[in-house]
């Protein structure tokens, strides 16, 4: 069985039995059942679909020519001008509204993913036209006791490569984070904070901030057609396959 797992999954990770294990500080073993499009966070008719590949682009060989784990990935497609709303762009979140609920924001230590970025996406919206990682949270700030909702968003830097799979992009050391709303004015959408800075700002001595959901998303801004795989949250890596989402343990 170990040989079979090693032949199917690349990278320094091992398969974890779905639904097994305890909390261990937020490092739950997550099952496949609770992942999908978060409908209330979807605008327009975008695509977030578990797919095979992408393999390529043409002429690309080696590890960058295939998804980093297994054979599949999360394919994402959003348009920039397809709704009657303002702005007219689409939005989609593919995530999990169950298994992360109640986890402490302070417990976020390792976050990131692999991305398949294209030159066309760069042309559509610039080098930093990339998908995001989003955590819906309860800020639990002592100064704002009635404010129970914000979204913690990671904005990546430009992908290191195009038309092929990237290596792991570490959200704790690259790009920037912000909170929607104005819970932490120094880390709103107009500012650029590190994850550590936001965690420090939320740690005001009261009840700690907690997570509602975790997702990979895109929009509302530029058109983007690409894929994500190997979403990491702490010690778990989420391998997107056509058959569902596999939970792997980082090595």
Q: Are 229 and 114 in contact (CB under 8 A)?
A: yes
For residue 56, give Cα distances in angstroms to 71, 96, 247: 12, 29, 25
Question: Of all helices (H) and strands (E), which one includes residue 92?
Answer: strand 92-96
Question: Residues 126-156: pLDDT tens digits?
Answer: 999 999 999 999 999 999 999 999 999 999 9
User: Residue 215's beta-bridge partner residues?
Assistant: 95, 134
Read off the pLDDT of residues 209-219 as tens digits, 9 standing for 90 and up.
Answer: 999 999 999 99
Portion of the chain with pLDDT greater than 90, in percent: 85
Backbone angles phi and psi of 126, in degrees to 5: 95, 170
The conformation of residue 64, written as its DSSP 8-state character, comes to G
Q: What are the tens digits of pLDDT across the range 115-124?
A: 999 999 999 9
Whole-number pLDDT of residue 5: 37
pLDDT band at 206 (very low <50, low <70, confident <90, very high): confident
- Report residue 126 CA to chain centroid gap: 20
């Amino acid at each position: 069985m170990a040989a079979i797992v090693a032949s199917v999954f690349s990278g320094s990770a091992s398969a974890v039995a779905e639904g097994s294990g305890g909390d261990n500080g937020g490092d739950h073993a997550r099952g496949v059942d609770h992942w999908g499009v978060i409908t209330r966070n979807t605008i327009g008719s975008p695509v977030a679909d578990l797919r095979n590949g992408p393999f390529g682009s043409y002429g690309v060989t080696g590890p960058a020519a295939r998804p980093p784990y297994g054979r599949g990935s999360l394919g994402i497609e959003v348009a920039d001008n397809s709704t009657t709303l303002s702005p007219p762009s689409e939005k989609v979140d593919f995530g999990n509204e169950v298994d992360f609920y109640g986890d402490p924001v302070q417990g976020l230590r390792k976050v990131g993913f692999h991305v398949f970025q294209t030159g066309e996406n760069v042309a559509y919206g610039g080098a930093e036209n990339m998908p995001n990682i989003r955590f819906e949270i309860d800020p639990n700030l002592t100064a704002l006791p009635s404010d129970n909702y914000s979204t913690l968003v990671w904005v990546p830097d430009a992908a290191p490569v195009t038309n092929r799979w990237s290596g792991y992009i570490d959200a704790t050391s690259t790009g920037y984070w912000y909170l929607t709303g104005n819970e932490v004015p120094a880390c709103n959408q107009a500012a650029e904070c590190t994850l550590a800075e936001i965690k420090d700002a939320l740690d005001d001595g009261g009840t700690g901030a907690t997570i509602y959901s975790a997702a990979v998303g895109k929009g509302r801004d530029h058109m983007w057609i690409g894929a994500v795989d190997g979403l990491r949250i702490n010690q778990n890596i989420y391998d997107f396959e056509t058959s569902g989402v596999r939970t792997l343990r980082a090595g």
